Amino acid sequence: MTTYAKHSTTYSKHSTYYTSLDSPVGELLLTADESGALSSLSVPGQKGGRTVGPDWRRAPELFKEAERQLAAYFAHELKEFQLETRTSGTEFREKVWSAIDSVPYGTTTTYGEIAARVGASRVAVRAVGGAIGANPLLIVRPCHRVIGADGSLTGYAGGLERKVQLLTLEGR
């Protein structure tokens, strides 16, 4: 087994580390790999969300910066996260997630606009919605800023109530 030393603790390669945090939108479950790169942020009841696995290791010390930035975000003091993240998806999903990352704080965009940004046809809007729904980094990757073409708050893996809370927090 390969191990890495960090913060005078030994972390195993290929392990999943986690912590949970309280937030204004409920409990957050954060996961990271052995390097400390954030790999997911999910909420209870989230469609496709993660749950703690039997071989996961609690390591709150790996998440101090994420905890600091999330607290600042919820306190209206942070508009853009600067965290090391490591997620994996298909090439298409990675393009969609990158497009979501570029949606500024306090603004919204539509599924059709995201499709256009990634060079997908209007027919592919449903696939864009699927990629957005599979976003493993709720809040940090702001999929809550994507709304329907008619302005409706359609779809959010974390629940529409949380989507409303996040958009309200951002002044929308």
- Residue 157 and residue 133 in contact, taking contact as beta carbons nearer than 8 Å: yes
Q: How far apart are CA 147 and CA 154, in angstroms?
A: 6
Dig out the tokens for 12 from the structure. 């195993």
The residues assigned a catalytic role are 143
Q: Let me know: does 106 contact 79? Beta carbons within 8 Å.
A: yes
Q: Tokens 């965009």 map to which residue?
A: 109
Q: Which of 169, 92, 82 is nearest to 130 (CA)?
A: 92
At residue 147, the 3 state secondary structure works out as: strand
SS3 85: strand
